[in-house]
């Protein structure tokens, strides 16, 4: 079963706009990761945010984590056509050494 | 894709036939995983390996078996393929396991079972 659920399922924006995707999860976590998947390719790791961090930046990416609400958001600023992809959050369902569990993803389309 | 090669990239087979997918890594990562990706379900873990000859089941392991005889190779076998196993299969690797470890993915195998 999915630990994380992304919202919205699909998002379409104009180039230059900001894109925000949300992830809600069910149980307490240590860290949360975000991945990107371009069409026909495997997933690529974007960023990891630790449970004691509220916000983290990497280039045009901004990730927030609210452990009280069990949610995270991924913001892509000044989006480009090349940002068109699916985005997934991933975490583990407990504090142990278990594999990552992925959400169903958000499909982002950036229109030039 | 970080030295992870999946073969074949595409396969069409018939119901009831055995199918083996191969994942080869050059990263010397201890952990290897097989996920399947389906519309509406995202990625779901089939099996994973934490070392040579050490494997464990994931969320959707029924109908699948795995083997890891060398650090670099992880095989996924469908003993008798069914149409419900039509999917895109991804192999992934990581140095360690858990929420701190990032995964590196192969490019996927598109499997169609007719």
For residue A88, what pLDDT band results from cuts at 50, 70 and 90?
A: very high
Q: Which of B59, B56, B60, B49 lies closest to B91, judged by CA?
A: B49
Mention every residue, 6+ apart, whose C-beta is less than 8 A from residue B56: B47, B48, B49, B50
**CB atoms < 10 A from the CB of B16, how many?**
10
Q: How many cross-chain Cβ pairs, A to B, lie less than 8 Å apart?
A: 68
Q: Quick one: closest CA in A to B102, which residue?
A: A45
B98 confidence band (pLDDT: 50, 70, 90) = confident
pLDDT tens column, B37-73: 998 888 999 999 999 999 999 999 999 999 999 999 9
Distance CA A55, CA A78 (A): 18
CB of A104 within 8 Å of a chain B CB? The answer is yes
Partner-chain contact B98 A97, CB within 8 Å: yes
Cβ(A23)–Cβ(A6) below 8 Å: yes
How much is the CA Rg of chain A, to the nearest whole Å? 13
User: Does A102 contact B97 at a Cβ distance shorter than 8 Å?
Assistant: no
Which residue do the tokens 């026909």 mark?
A40
């Amino acid at each position: 079963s999915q630990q994380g659920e992304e919202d919205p399922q699909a998002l379409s924006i104009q180039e230059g706009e900001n894109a925000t995707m949300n992830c809600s999860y069910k149980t307490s976590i240590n860290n949360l990761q975000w991945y990107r998947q371009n069409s026909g390719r495997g997933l690529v790791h974007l960023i990891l945010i630790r449970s004691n961090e509220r916000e983290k930046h990497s280039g045009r990416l901004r990730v927030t984590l609210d452990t009280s609400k069990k949610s995270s958001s991924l913001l892509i600023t000044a989006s480009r056509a090349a940002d068109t992809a699916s985005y997934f959050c991933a975490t583990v369902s407990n504090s142990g050494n278990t594999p990552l569990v992925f959400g169903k993803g958000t499909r982002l389309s950036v229109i030039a | 894709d970080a030295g992870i090669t999946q073969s074949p990239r595409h396969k069409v087979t018939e119901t009831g036939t055995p199918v083996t997918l191969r994942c080869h890594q050059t990263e010397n990562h201890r952990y290897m995983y097989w996920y399947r990706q389906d519309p509406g379900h995202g990625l779901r873990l089939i099996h994973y390996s934490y070392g040579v000859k050490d494997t464990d089941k994931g969320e959707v392991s029924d109908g699948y078996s795995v083997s890891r005889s060398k650090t670099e190779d992880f095989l996924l076998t469908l003993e008798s393929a069914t149409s419900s196993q039509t999917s895109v299969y991804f192999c992934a690797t990581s140095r360690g396991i858990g929420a701190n470890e990032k995964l590196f993915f192969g490019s996927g195998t598109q499997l169609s079972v007719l």
